[in-house]
Amino acid sequence: MGTKKKIIIVGGGFAGIQFIKKLDEKLFEVLLIDKLNHYQFQPLFYQVAASQIEPSNISFPLRHIFNNKKNVQIRLAEVLSVDATNKKINTSIGDFVYDYLVIAIGCTTNFFGNNEISKYAFTLKTTYDAIEIRNHILQTFEKIISAKETEKESLLNLVIVGAGPTGVELSGAFAEMKKDVLPKDYPDIDFSKFKIILIEGSKNTLNNMSDKAKVASGKYLLEMNVTILTETFVKNYDGEILTFKDGNSIKTKTVIWAAGVIGNTIQGLSDNYLTTTNRIKVNRINQVIGTENVFALGDIAYMETPKYPKGHPQVANVAINQAKNLAKNFKKKFQGKQTQEFEYKDLGSMATIGRNKAVADFSFIKFKGYFAWVAWMFLHLMLILSVKNKLMIFINWAWTYITKDTGLRLIFTSNKKK
């Protein structure tokens, strides 16, 4: 058999976790490097932000996930650069050598070069971001109670930029909070003045889904009193005023930016192998173009295929399937067999807008409403890692459905003086 090959994998997201799980333990030693000590279930971040579920329900410690895998080591560090020639990586805790390197570092929020917006807007890319939004929203209502009339307008405008699934799901969740939850907590506030404003550059909400989904999502949001501004582009935000390219503006203390992603960067790879949005160009087996032993998976990987000439959508399903395929290919390489090219079978996309309101686009059927909502919940529950967490989330959802309340509105902030 020979000695085990050493694989370093950077990033413990959907792709990283799946890859390690499917890898043959007898053939490979694995070192997983991540800045966080936990894997986060991104599709439900918006529910943490809207006080619907606990952060711990969607965050899973990496050491716990792999505590029965003897071939896996984990290091908490930031990867600074790759030295492909000498097969080593440089990290914040030193250098590590590899036989194979797998990069699965995912994406971060794209502010399209506007640093001012990035300073003041909230993002939703980590569990921590979700907690920050939750804290901020709840503190905003505490402030409104005692704010002067002149200050109230900017506190009562909640703006979400980007009407993809994240933007739509957040808008719906906050609309339900506004209707069912907050008025009980804050009877002195006039909630008819609290505005949820969703801003989108294209013509529709959920612009990458079917026409049926676009129309239905827009209709649901309007029924829930969300203000939708389509074909509207943000020019700037200074923490007080959000200005648009057409010259209009909105006073607001809350802007959540959900408008596009850009790849996380890693130094040492040639710029020739990066796209304009920092994705790493790979061949059909996820091998980084121009390298021998470096691979990339998931959102960060850009692979052109006849079916996807502009690369694959940056969704969990692509990451999971690329990871499974690469794990199989590593075994095939080891055994001297022919590797298998990656082909993505798109099972469809879904988004939930609120209670009994969701849209689903599957290849064989497109539907909306209650059944789409049930399907959305079922499929997301199946993807949650542990049985305990599946149960906790299900109980939470059931409780919320019956009572229209969660009781999770806790503000966690440091009381140290800045």
Closest alpha carbon to 407 in 41, 128, 54, 141 = 54
State how far the Cα of 294 lies from the Cα of 96, in Å rounded to an integer: 14
Secondary structure (3-state) at 127? helix
Residue 242 in any domain: the answer is: yes
Residue 60 in any domain: the answer is: no
User: Residue 11: pLDDT above 60?
Assistant: yes
Rg over CA atoms, the chain: 22
Secondary structure (3-state) at 275? coil
Alpha helices in 23-126 (DSSP H): 45-49, 62-65, 115-120
Per-residue pLDDT band for 417 (boundaries 50, 70, 90) equals low
If asked whether residues 103 and 192 sit together in one domain, one would say no
Beta bridge partner(s), residue 159: 197, 255
The residue type of 113 is: G
Q: Up-side HSE of residue 33: CA atoms within 13 Å toward CB? A: 23
User: Residue 411: pLDDT above 90?
Assistant: no
Q: What is the DSSP string of 206-251?
A: TTTS-HHHHHHHHHHHHHTTEEEE-S--EEEE-SSEEEETTS-EEE
Contacts from 210-213 at CB under 8 Å and sequence distance 24+?
210/361, 210/366, 212/359, 212/361, 212/366, 212/368, 213/351, 213/359, 213/360, 213/361, 213/366, 213/368
Q: What is the DSSP string of 398-416?
A: HHHHHHS-----------S
Closest alpha carbon to 376 in 101, 47, 27 = 47
If asked whether residues 251 and 371 sit together in one domain, one would say yes
Per-residue pLDDT band for 1 (boundaries 50, 70, 90) equals very low
Closest alpha carbon to 375 in 367, 384, 386 = 367
State how far the Cα of 121 lies from the Cα of 184, in Å rounded to an integer: 28
Q: What was the pLDDT predicted at 412?
A: 83
- When the pLDDT of each residue in the chain is averaged and rounded to a whole number, the result is 94
Last residue of a domain, which of 312, 334, 356? 334
If asked whether residues 221 and 90 sit together in one domain, one would say no
CATH value at residue 154 = 3.50.50.100
State how far the Cα of 19 lies from the Cα of 97, in Å rounded to an integer: 19
Residue 416 in any domain: the answer is: no
Mean pLDDT of 357-383: 95
Residue 181 in any domain: the answer is: yes
Mean pLDDT of 318-344: 96
If asked whether residues 195 and 252 sit together in one domain, one would say yes
User: Residue 117: pLDDT above 50?
Assistant: yes
If asked whether residues 15 and 84 sit together in one domain, one would say yes
State how far the Cα of 235 lies from the Cα of 233, in Å rounded to an integer: 6
Q: What was the pLDDT predicted at 104?
A: 97
Closest alpha carbon to 351 in 196, 223, 213 = 213
DSSP 178: I
| Top-confidence residue, 122 or 407 | 122
Residue 312 in any domain: the answer is: yes
If asked whether residues 90 and 216 sit together in one domain, one would say no
pLDDT tens for each residue of 133-182? 999 999 999 999 999 999 999 999 999 999 999 999 999 999 999 999 99
If asked whether residues 135 and 92 sit together in one domain, one would say no
Residues with Cβ within 8 Å of 319's Cβ and at least 6 positions away in sequence, in order, are 13, 14, 15, 18, 104, 297, 298, 299
Last residue of a domain, which of 279, 306, 334? 334
State how far the Cα of 291 lies from the Cα of 293, in Å rounded to an integer: 6
If asked whether residues 390 and 265 sit together in one domain, one would say no
Q: What was the pLDDT predicted at 2?
A: 59
Q: What was the pLDDT predicted at 134?
A: 95
**Residue 300: domain span:** 5-35+77-109+261-334
Q: What is the DSSP string of 341-375?
A: --------EEEEEETTEEEEE-SS-EEESHHHHHH
- List b or e across 146-182, with b for residues whose CB sees 16 or more CB atoms inside 10 angstroms: eeeeeebebbbbbbbbbbbbbbbbbbbbbbbbbeebb
Residue 169 in any domain: the answer is: yes
- Count of domains forming the chain: 2
Beta-strand relationship, 195-199 and 226-229: parallel
Residue 224 vs residues 173, 196, 220: alpha-carbon distances, Å:
10, 10, 6
If asked whether residues 216 and 250 sit together in one domain, one would say yes
Mean pLDDT of 46-75: 95
Residue 72 in any domain: the answer is: no
Residue 54 in any domain: the answer is: no
Mean pLDDT of 389-413: 88
If asked whether residues 247 and 170 sit together in one domain, one would say yes
CATH value at residue 296 = 3.50.50.60
Contacts from 365-368 at CB under 8 Å and sequence distance 24+?
366/210, 366/212, 366/213, 368/212, 368/213, 368/216
If asked whether residues 101 and 127 sit together in one domain, one would say no
Beta bridge partner(s), residue 257: 161
Q: What was the pLDDT predicted at 83?
A: 95
Q: What was the pLDDT predicted at 3?
A: 84
Check: CB of residue 176 under 8 Å from CB of residue 224.
Answer: yes
Give the start-end residues of each E strand in 11-144.
28-34, 38-40, 59-61, 72-76, 79-83, 88-91, 94-97, 100-103, 107-109
Check: CB of residue 159 under 8 Å from CB of residue 252.
Answer: yes
